[in-house]
Structure 1
Amino acid sequence: MMNIKPLLIGLGLGITILSGCSDDLNLVGSTIQPDGDKMPVYVDTFQMQATTLLMDSVYARTTSGLLGEFYDPLYGNVKSDYICQFYCPDDFKFKKEPINGQIDSVDFKIMYQNSAWVGDSLAPMRAQIYQVTKELERDFYTNFDPLEYCDMTQSLGMQTYTAYDNSIPDSIRGAKDSDGYPLYTPTITIRMPKEFGQKFYDESVKNPSTFNSQENFNKFFQGLYVTNTYGSGNILQINYSAISIYYKYNLKGSQGQDSTARASETFNVTKEVLQLNRFKNTDLNSLLEPSDSIAYLKTPAGVYTQLTIPAQDIVDRIGDRVINNIPLTMKAYPQEEWQWALPAPANLLLLPKDSLPTFFVNNKIEDNKTAFRADYNASSRSYPFGNIANLMQEHIKNNPDKDMVLLLIPVERITAKSNSYYGQSQTYTTALNNYLLPSGVKLLKSEDATKIIVTTTEYK
């Protein structure tokens, strides 16, 4: 008799699925089971609430950054910039001795990939850099005030650019190496004062201990603030930032003759040092106005959607029955169709609101118990999270007298592939980060869209 239990439960759940959310099927399945082994399956319907919350800061520990400013008629304006430190190898020394101890030039490079931007690729923009004058704190939240760290009265350089550089021939832009990787990397080069590089060389001669460790180097040079001071309509996704110091040195030839050669020293932004990304959103008031039909999501660091599921009512109604299934799918309105309209975020994370402060800091991923992830399904305009019964059971165990408050958070999913026993490749999540590119979606919050169907089983 025990072997028939899974089949009977499956039949009961099948009836639940086919019946949708009809309140007439509050009790199903009991009549098809043997008298001595009845396990009634119940279906109860509840209503959750969805609201839009302001999220002016997110955790963003990354070596990439966003630079620029972009306006969307629905989702408002966002300005993006960043502060970065630079990696110094232990016991760094200039490879060669500059002629007469003099530096020739210095520049700062901002590198990104082709098409790695949002908005108008031909919008004229200007990047400008300032020196950081205060030691950075280890704070990776995106609402820092640059005035607290920088001397904004003296610029170290600026450069006007467009994301797509029309001066680059297609033959160069499309060139690839023997492995198929692009040879051309779009780059914004900002010329810096020669005195800046001279200071580095002079310090390496007079106080070499400055370059013995990253800690000492950070005290000597705290970093740069990279911002946009002109233009709107484009945001670049930066892959790589670096300072290069150029100089000439004497080179002895094989016949003893002297010649002049060129060299450079480069300091990069790497994962070993800090980069603080800042996002400043404006014009969000319309998204935060009460609405009976729409809840919004907007990145970066714009607004989240909060879901409140009536856990207290669920506990009161189901008693000690076991929760088998709570399917949750968030449905969306069609995306806007104007030029450069924001896309819907590709991945949403669902987790308890009180878990947010530690989730990204501790590098967690979805576990389908206390955190769930959904891909955006463009054909059905929905985010299917599947069965969140584990999440509800965990909440009831820890907080039986409180409703369950959840957040929907756009995330960037980092993946890898593994081979199964049968040789089929499977994709799995290796990391989840707050999604930092501009995106937006309108979620339905009608009565039907926010209906929660709870399937339970009574074991006797």
Structure 2
Amino acid sequence: MKLKYLAAACLAAAIYSCDDTTTGVGDFLANTDEINAYSMTFEATTKTIKYTDINPNGIYSRTNSAYLGKFTDADFGTFSADFITQINCPEGFTFPETMQSIQSASLGLYYASYYGDSLAPMRVRVDLLDTPIDDDGSDMSLYYTTYDPTKYYNEEAEPLAEKDYTAYDVAVGDSLKSETGYNTVSISLPESFSQDIQKKYEENKDYFKDAYSFIHNVLPGFYVHTTQGEGSILYIQDIWLHLNIEYLIESSSGSVDSTVYTQIPFAATNEVYMSTRLENSDNAFDNQMSDKEHTYLKTPVGLLTEVKLPLEEMYAELGKDTLNSVSISFTKMKEVSDNSSKNPYKMGVPQYLLLLRKSEVNEFFEQNKTYDSQTSFLASYSSTTNSYTFSQLNRLISQIFSEMRTQEEPAEGWDEHNALVLIPVKTETDSQSNIIGLSHDLEVNSARLVGGENGDKLKIEVIYTRPAISE
């Protein structure tokens, strides 16, 4: 640990400009002549942990996106993704009164990006759910990546539809893709499916009055999964059920006898259930877990970095002072391993990391919280410094100091009790680009970080103020 005296007046002003919510731990005394500012450095220890060490059910995957495919990587083994989705029906929906028939139906999977081999041959299968899922939060296991889809469809039944595809469809011109911004896997559904939809509508139009009625009486949903091939993972942003209908309109003679055709879309939206199931091979992370010289991040449902701060040591030194800034940086190394340079499909780099207490992870995502820079913190990847920097941890540490002062010490000690974790996340923004939500990063990303149980210790830079007491 290194302590150095800083010039009080100018540095204190700089400190306050850095963090406008400076957190007081000790109380300033009324008869102080000046406030002295100091800095101190501590060391944090890090190690790699599996996400399943936090929750054996995997990660909370209630998102607006779906993932599909299978890929084997030399560093991280085999990974696969499939999903269940329901289809929303707008309130008060009706078909045209003169509808003659639903001619055909298709399920469209729209994606702007993917990971892996663009031309790897894959086969997707669509199964019809036979059990409606109530998206009311009463069964939280539905939203985790290890849910069992066989509870909701008959795996012995014939598939509703199958389709061979590649991530890049050479049959679709680049000009069309540039116009829409999407690649598409369009899966034709059988004539019997269209007929059943029409039959349900003719039976009772109230089945289509809202999403709940539609899901419980017409279409419980789809289970979409790959059955052959590997080499790519699709990052699906939109899912549409397209119904092509025939109906009559008034002709020039005034009679309703002219036949026209149109397509009616039904979307999978965040008002209905959609959740991705993810699997990694059993020995996927053996190499990374055995590496004690670094730590790792791997998404999805892979590896996290656990961070332990020397809280008891810090409290002994700073427990009566005011913490103005506590910062720590995590440096990303160039490659994940020696295999990385040989892999033709480089994984992405996690762009955002969430830092929070390990004990609060499940609650954070289940309750759809966003970071508050008080107990949870967000850092973005800097390609300039190859690092992620958190600079306002004084707020969390001051809170922990308060707990240490007033509560009984946990059996495992404060350092262990308040272990932190780094979690790769995706951000949701509003029209002004303000971050309004976070979710787990479910794309294929990875990073190797400086640190590890036997590796370099990470520096925690603390700036604090201490009043000088007049005699």
**TM-score, length of structure 2 as denominator length:** 0.81
Cα distance in 2 for residues equivalent to 1:299 and 1:8: 41
Whichever residue aligns with residue 146 of structure 1, its letter is: P
Q: Which residue of 2 aligns with 1:74?
A: 75
- Of 110, 129, 134, the residue aligned with 2:131 is 134
The SS at the match of 2:118 is: coil
How far does residue 184 in structure 1 lie from its aligned partner after superposition?
6.3
For each residue in 1:297-333, what CA deviation from the matched residue of structure 2 results, as whole angstroms up to 9, or x when unmatched? 1111212111111212222333423333322001122
Whichever residue aligns with residue 49 of structure 1, its letter is: T
- Of 413, 436, 441, the residue aligned with 2:442 is 436
CA contact (8 A) 2:105 2:188 kept: yes
Q: Which residue of 2 aligns with 1:150?
A: 153
CA contact (8 A) 1:72 1:341 kept: no
Cα distance in 2 for residues equivalent to 1:249 and 1:429: 45
Residue 117 in structure 1 maps to residue 131 in structure 2: no
Whichever residue aligns with residue 458 of structure 1, its letter is: R
The SS at the match of 1:326 is: strand
Cα distance in 1 for residues equivalent to 2:465 and 2:302: 41
For each residue in 1:378-397, what CA deviation from the matched residue of structure 2 results, as whole angstroms up to 9, or x when unmatched? 23221111241111111221
Q: Which residue of 1 aligns with 2:383?
A: 378
Distance 1:412-1:38 versus aligned 2 partners, 3 A rule: closer
CA contact (8 A) 1:104 1:247 kept: yes
How far does residue 8 in structure 1 lie from its aligned partner after superposition?
5.7
For each residue in 1:75-114, what CA deviation from the matched residue of structure 2 results, as whole angstroms up to 9, or x when unmatched? 2222111111111123332214444xx543222111222x
Distance 1:36-1:434 versus aligned 2 partners, 3 A rule: same
Distance 1:130-1:48 versus aligned 2 partners, 3 A rule: same
Aligned residues: 417
Q: Which residue of 2 aligns with 1:228?
A: 226
CA contact (8 A) 2:80 2:279 kept: yes
Q: Which residue of 2 aligns with 1:165?
A: 169
How far does residue 155 in structure 1 lie from its aligned partner after superposition?
0.4
Cα distance in 2 for residues equivalent to 1:289 and 1:363: 30
CA contact (8 A) 1:72 1:342 kept: no
Residue 354 in structure 1 maps to residue 368 in structure 2: no
Distance 1:298-1:399 versus aligned 2 partners, 3 A rule: farther
Deviates more, 1:312-321 or 1:227-236: 312-321
Deviates more, 1:187-196 or 1:210-219: 210-219
- Of 426, 432, 435, the residue aligned with 1:412 is 426
Cα distance in 2 for residues equivalent to 1:109 and 1:11: 55
Cα distance in 1 for residues equivalent to 2:428 and 2:44: 34
The SS at the match of 1:152 is: coil
- Of 245, 248, 255, the residue aligned with 2:246 is 248
The SS at the match of 2:147 is: coil
The SS at the match of 2:391 is: strand
Deviates more, 1:183-192 or 1:104-113: 183-192
The SS at the match of 1:355 is: helix
The answer for unaligned runs of 5 or more in structure 1 is 14-34, 175-181, 419-426
Q: Which residue of 1 aligns with 2:266?
A: 267
Distance 1:442-1:350 versus aligned 2 partners, 3 A rule: same
Q: Which residue of 2 aligns with 1:7?
A: 10
Residue 52 in structure 1 maps to residue 66 in structure 2: no
How far does residue 274 in structure 1 lie from its aligned partner after superposition?
1.1
CA contact (8 A) 2:48 2:303 kept: no
CA contact (8 A) 2:63 2:439 kept: no
For each residue in 1:156-214, what CA deviation from the matched residue of structure 2 results, as whole angstroms up to 9, or x when unmatched? 0011111111122344344xxxxxxx246422121112111111111111222222232
Cα distance in 2 for residues equivalent to 1:39 and 1:169: 67
Q: Which residue of 1 aligns with 2:19?
A: none
The SS at the match of 2:369 is: coil
CA contact (8 A) 1:332 1:444 kept: yes
Q: Which residue of 2 aligns with 1:276?
A: 275
Cα distance in 2 for residues equivalent to 1:382 and 1:207: 59
Q: Which residue of 1 aligns with 2:187?
A: 190
Cα distance in 1 for residues equivalent to 2:202 and 2:305: 56
Q: Which residue of 2 aligns with 1:20?
A: none
CA contact (8 A) 1:75 1:440 kept: no
Deviates more, 1:151-160 or 1:255-264: 255-264
Distance 1:11-1:121 versus aligned 2 partners, 3 A rule: closer
The SS at the match of 2:171 is: coil
Whichever residue aligns with residue 360 of structure 1, its letter is: F
**TM-score, length of structure 1 as denominator length:** 0.83
Superposed CA RMSD in Å reads 2.7
The SS at the match of 2:220 is: coil
How far does residue 416 in structure 1 lie from its aligned partner after superposition?
4.8
The SS at the match of 1:104 is: strand
Q: Which residue of 2 aligns with 1:310?
A: 310
Whichever residue aligns with residue 344 of structure 2, its letter is: Q
Distance 1:386-1:231 versus aligned 2 partners, 3 A rule: same
Q: Which residue of 2 aligns with 1:215?
A: 212
Whichever residue aligns with residue 307 of structure 2, its letter is: L
